[in-house]
Amino acid sequence: MIWDLWGDGTRDAHLPRGARTIAKTLLKGTPRPVPRRDPASVVLSASRLDDADLAALAAAARGEAAIDTSDAVRVLHLGGKSTPDLLRRRRDDTAIAPDGVVRPESHDEVAAVLAVCGARGIAVVPFGGGTSVVGGLEPDAGPFRAVVSLDLSRTAALLALDEVSLLATFGAGTSGPQAEELLARHGLTLGHFPQSFEHASLGGFAATRSSGQASRGYGRFDELVHALRVATPAGTLALGIAPASAAGPDLRQLILGSEGAFGVITEVTVRVRPVPAHTAYGAWTFPDFASGAAALRELTQAGIRPTVLRLSDESETRVNAVMGGHLLRMTGALAVATFEASIPREAERVRGETDAVFVRHGAKPRGEDPARSWERGRFSAPVLRDSLMDIGVLAETLETATVWSSLQALKAAVTTALEAALGARGTAPIVMCHISHVYPAGASLYFTVVAALTDDPLAQWADAKAAASRAIAAAGGTATHHHAVGRDHRSGMTAEIGALGIEVLRGVKRTLDPQGIMNPGVLMPPPATETTTGP
């Protein structure tokens, strides 16, 4: 992706007229545009790798071309793509970059690179698509003398396909589109489509417990994983033999969500399925978000499974209408759904069952167009975020999840916290929310915040995010439902799993990464006596 933007520049970043209308008429405060800059104007930290380091890394990755210390490559590996990440790239004259970028091609090469780094005191940050929005990819050397970004893009491949068992093994650096293209040649799909789909890697999906937009139909990514191969400083883990096992605790669960803190996922075996032959679409408006959430709960607990199921609150419904130029359709809460099946009548049957439940909760059917429109633009929002920054508008997200009985209270608490924190800076925000992932016991809440940028936008968002995180913890929500922990959420991990749980994770890290070279600073809060270079 481009160093200071989301994406590779191929998507249209033009702001629709509605976005400018919102910025001019609905936001409070004076926007402070943050223009882009030439990457050549940013001074990167000098590489600390010496000739012996470079020779050893080149030998491990089998070729001098596999290690790069040029500024042009290092600037592409500065970290992730959160709004604070991108603001720093637009505002700061200097940047801490990895000391080198290593591109191994296989599991054995990754293992060899880790051995070199362990022997030479070099930290390692695994790098897939670079889409982290929680500080999971900072080139943080921690206590070590240097840090390398381990770029897994050269591992992209379909390594094995079992069409009888419907299992496919990929190199961890395979991107979402690459995986779908390779599977489509065999009439198959993985069906994992998070908003980062166009750029993120399968290894990254596993390392962050990603949840795709079709999670109701296909499941979260951790539910799709059959087997993992992992290179750790202590050796190789090969996890997952049978479709189910009672052979002790499932060690795959230690790696799923570990964010490169224990080792590097090099191969992922996933469950795949035939490409659906038919897709039906549906959209409904509810009187309000509460009635829509009650309908989604009933639908889910009844076992009715649309492939995609989303509910926008009144604020998000209104803003999306303005963005699309539909100024007369601003009321209520909009739900959209898709229904995939091998035969048309099955998709239509599930849509009919969904409609019956929704109508009982006061919904009005709105045809197929809103759902089709959502599907066409479902990967575009992060690109618009960049364009909004150009005109001085903050657009950022955060997410959580809780049980159904606590959903409304959690939503209200987070909304109030965000409005108060940003309003205190004179930038009263628009706070929007939607449900995109549902379970029998509860659902996710995904918040989008739009506000005028201040002269200190980093502090502006840091205050708002901290206030929202406190509200989430107090209301019993999870610190993160699908964005992972990174550095941004690690302070909430003790409340999430307890002090003993943190010690369990530290014990795993001591076993698999005894020197601590793997992605220092992510996942776990540092011990009280430890200092780090992270926030």
How far is residue 272's CA from residue 184's CA, in Å, rounded to a whole number? 11
If one compares 281 and 319, the residue with the highest pLDDT of the two is 281
Structure confidence at residue 329 as a pLDDT band (50, 70, 90)? low
Task: Name residue 311's beta-bridge partners.
Answer: 335, 435
Task: For the beta carbon of residue 120, count every other beta carbon within 10 angstroms.
Answer: 17
Q: What percent of the chain has pLDDT over 90?
A: 89
Residue 448: its pLDDT value, please? 97
Mean pLDDT of 310-327: 84
Residue 534: its pLDDT value, please? 38
Closest alpha carbon to 231 in 513, 490, 522, 515? 513
Residue 100 above 90 pLDDT? yes
Task: Give how far the C-alpha of residue 476 lies from the chain's centroid of Cα atoms, to the nearest Å.
Answer: 22
Closest alpha carbon to 492 in 475, 512, 508? 475
Residue 210: its pLDDT value, please? 98
SS3 279: strand
170, 270 Cβ separation under 8 angstroms: yes
Reported as a single tens digit per residue, the pLDDT across 52-85 is 999 999 999 988 889 999 999 999 999 999 999 9
User: In CATH, what class is 278-376?
Assistant: alpha beta
pTM of the entire structure? 0.95
Which of 63-67, 222-226, 291-295, 475-479 has the weakest average pLDDT?
63-67
Mean pLDDT of 42-50: 98
Mean pLDDT of 89-114: 97
Residue 421: its pLDDT value, please? 97
State the DSSP string of 114-182: HHHHHHHTEEEEEESS---SSS------TTSSEEEEEE-GGG-SEEEEETTTTEEEEETT-BHHHHHHH
Residue 533 above 60 pLDDT? no
- The CATH number given to 47-275+484-535 is 3.30.465.10
Which of 232-241, 322-331, 485-494 has the weakest average pLDDT?
322-331
Structure confidence at residue 30 as a pLDDT band (50, 70, 90)? confident
Cβ-based neighbours of 108, under 8 Å, separated by 6 or more: none
Reported as a single tens digit per residue, the pLDDT across 230-272 is 999 999 999 999 999 999 999 999 999 999 999 999 999 999 9
Residue 327: its pLDDT value, please? 44
Structure confidence at residue 325 as a pLDDT band (50, 70, 90)? low
Residue 330: its pLDDT value, please? 58
DSSP code for 527:
P
Strands 188-189 and 273-274: antiparallel
Average predicted confidence (pLDDT) for the chain? 94
Which of 333-342, 377-386, 395-404, 515-524 has the weakest average pLDDT?
377-386
How far is residue 531's CA from residue 70's CA, in Å, rounded to a whole number? 29
The full set of domain ranges for the chain reads 47-275+484-535, 278-376
How far is residue 409's CA from residue 529's CA, in Å, rounded to a whole number? 37
Reported as a single tens digit per residue, the pLDDT across 350-408 is 999 999 999 999 999 999 999 999 999 999 889 989 999 999 999 999 999 999 999 99
Alpha carbons within 13 angstroms on the beta-carbon side of residue 453 total: 23
DSSP code for 236:
E
Mean pLDDT of 162-177: 98
390, 83 Cβ separation under 8 angstroms: no
Mean pLDDT of 189-214: 97
Cβ-based neighbours of 407, under 8 Å, separated by 6 or more: 293, 442, 443, 445
